[in-house]
């Protein structure tokens, strides 16, 4: 699979927002379904791009397969990362792009950005317990669970956290 990971272009924001929203809805990750208030945040790619870096995975013909928000240290998009860590959020790959390595490539791109930033010691993320496929990718790439950081953004939903240690990056 020939994939390119690059910064999302403004004309792709609406498409990526819909890919993200539909991935979360299709995987049953939103308790409120189509009425879940988090859908607005998932669709607001321009808002995320204003305070973080939004990346997309595109295939050889330029089709957007999915995306992720990379939040450098200090970004308002960071939920669990302390000042010396970066974080990524809202990783999503549309149905047509699944099983093609797009999700892993997006995570690798976030890790590369974190490694290239002076003073960054780790890369953090939050995930739902039901995201088993994503958890396998995180483990394969060297992320470790950080249960002491698990948190609940809304009643009834506990997010699991992971961290990639970059201290030994060389």
Q: Which two tokens stand for residue 26?
A: 């299709």
Report pLDDT digits (tens) over 6-20. 999 999 999 999 999
What's the rounded Cα separation, in Å, for the pair 126 and 160? 6
What's the rounded Cα separation, in Å, for the pair 68 and 53? 8
Domains belonging to the chain, first-starting first, are 3-165 (3.40.630.30)
Q: Which two tokens stand for residue 132?
A: 């088993």
Report pLDDT digits (tens) over 88-117. 999 999 988 888 999 999 999 999 999 999
pLDDT of residue 31: 86
Residue corresponding to tokens 């939903």:
157
169 has pLDDT over 80:
no
CB atoms within 10 A of CB 34: 8
Coil, strand or helix at 62 = coil
CB atoms within 10 A of CB 158: 13
In this prediction the pTM is 0.94
- Alpha helix stretches (DSSP H) within the chain: 13-26, 38-43, 45-51, 102-115, 132-140
168 has pLDDT over 90:
no
What's the rounded Cα separation, in Å, for the pair 105 and 140? 12
What's the rounded Cα separation, in Å, for the pair 145 and 147? 6
pLDDT of residue 170: 38
What value does the mean pLDDT take over residues 140-168? Answer: 94
Report pLDDT digits (tens) over 46-74. 999 999 999 999 999 999 999 999 999 99
Mean pLDDT of the chain: 94
Report pLDDT digits (tens) over 105-153. 999 999 999 999 999 999 999 999 999 889 999 999 999 999 999 999 9
- DSSP 8-state secondary structure symbol assigned to residue 11: G
């Amino acid at each position: 699979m020939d994939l390119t990971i690059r910064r999302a272009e403004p004309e792709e924001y609406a498409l990526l927002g819909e890919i993200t929203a539909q991935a979360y809805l299709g995987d049953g990750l939103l308790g409120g379904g189509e009425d879940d208030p988090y859908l607005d945040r998932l669709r607001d790619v321009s808002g995320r791009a204003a305070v973080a870096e939004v990346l997309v995975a595109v295939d050889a013909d330029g089709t957007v397969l999915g995306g992720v928000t990379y939040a450098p240290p200090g970004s308002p998009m960071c939920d669990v990362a302390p000042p010396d860590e970066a974080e990524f959020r809202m990783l999503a790959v549309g149905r047509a792009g699944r099983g093609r390595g797009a999700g892993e490539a997006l995570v690798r791109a976030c890790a590369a950005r974190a490694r290239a930033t002076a003073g960054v010691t780790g890369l953090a993320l939050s995930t739902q317990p039901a995201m088993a496929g994503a958890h396998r990718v995180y483990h394969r790439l060297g992320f470790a669970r950080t249960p002491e950081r698990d948190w609940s953004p809304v009643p009834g939903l506990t997010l699991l956290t992971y961290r990639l240690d970059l201290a030994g990056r060389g």
